[in-house]
Amino acid sequence: MKLKEFKQLYDEDSAPGWEAVDKQLNKVYPEVEPRFYGTVLHYNFGGEDPIDGTSIYDSKKQLFHRHFVTYGMSELYYNEEAVGGDFSKWGFEFTFRLVPFAADGDEDPMWAINMMNNLARYVYESGNWFEVNHFIPTNSPIRLDCDSDIVGIAFAEDAELGKIETPYGEVTFLQIVGITSKELERLQANPKKNEVAKLLDELRKDNPLLLTDLTRR
């Protein structure tokens, strides 16, 4: 389903949070229609996916990559009780910038959407949320069944999308950044946020948009 078809299910007044996310995306990708993958049955209604949908943009900035942005970790739909909060629901939406991987061919890598849903499921079930400069091990390559040394995730503020204010509070575009086994060991030895921030700053020197490349070692 295309994004505009999905959005026909509601009007702007019924989804002010969604419109706030779209407004920020339109600044970076003006008049671009992303490829959109919507959830058939939401987690709250017995489905498996907590994220309402994910848009994928093709970006040529820095290096060609696919830019994923979720809808569903922030308050999307009209909710009078949530108006004026400090943070909109969990206070973020996931983003992910992925350099094409040979095993995915020309197809959109659905494993990445599944990964983001797994992270969202953890948040919904545990009540623990992610913030900038958090990190977690993935206990395997983030893309299963492939020879990759990307075995952990750090979280950064998306360099282009940043933060926005919505009717329900602040939303950070929280970028998932793949880290190698050596980088993960370093953070596990010193798990403080300032060490994660230091590592991310080091990565930005050669990779300012913090693209995830599964071939990086």
Give the pLDDT confidence of 94-153 residue by residue, as tens digits. Answer: 999 999 988 788 899 999 999 999 999 999 999 999 999 999 999 999 998 888 999 999
Q: What is the DSSP letter of 80?
A: G
Query: What is the Cα–Cα distance from 96 to 176, expressed in whole angstroms?
Result: 5
Per-residue pLDDT of the chain (217 residues; tens, 9 = 90+): 455 555 545 555 589 999 999 999 999 999 999 999 998 776 666 778 899 999 999 999 999 999 999 999 999 999 999 899 999 999 999 999 999 988 788 899 999 999 999 999 999 999 999 999 999 999 999 998 888 999 999 999 999 999 999 999 999 999 999 999 999 999 999 999 999 999 999 999 999 999 999 999 8
- Tokens 């509601």 correspond to 10
**The pLDDT value given to residue 103:** 78
**The pLDDT value given to residue 145:** 85
Burial (0-12, 13-18, 19+ Cβ within 10 Å), 12: exposed
- In degrees rounded to 5, what are phi and psi of residue 105? 60, -140
Burial 35-58 (b: 16+ CB within 10 A, else e): ebbbbeebbeeeeebbbbbbbbbe
Query: What is the Cα–Cα distance from 168 to 176, expressed in whole angstroms?
Result: 23
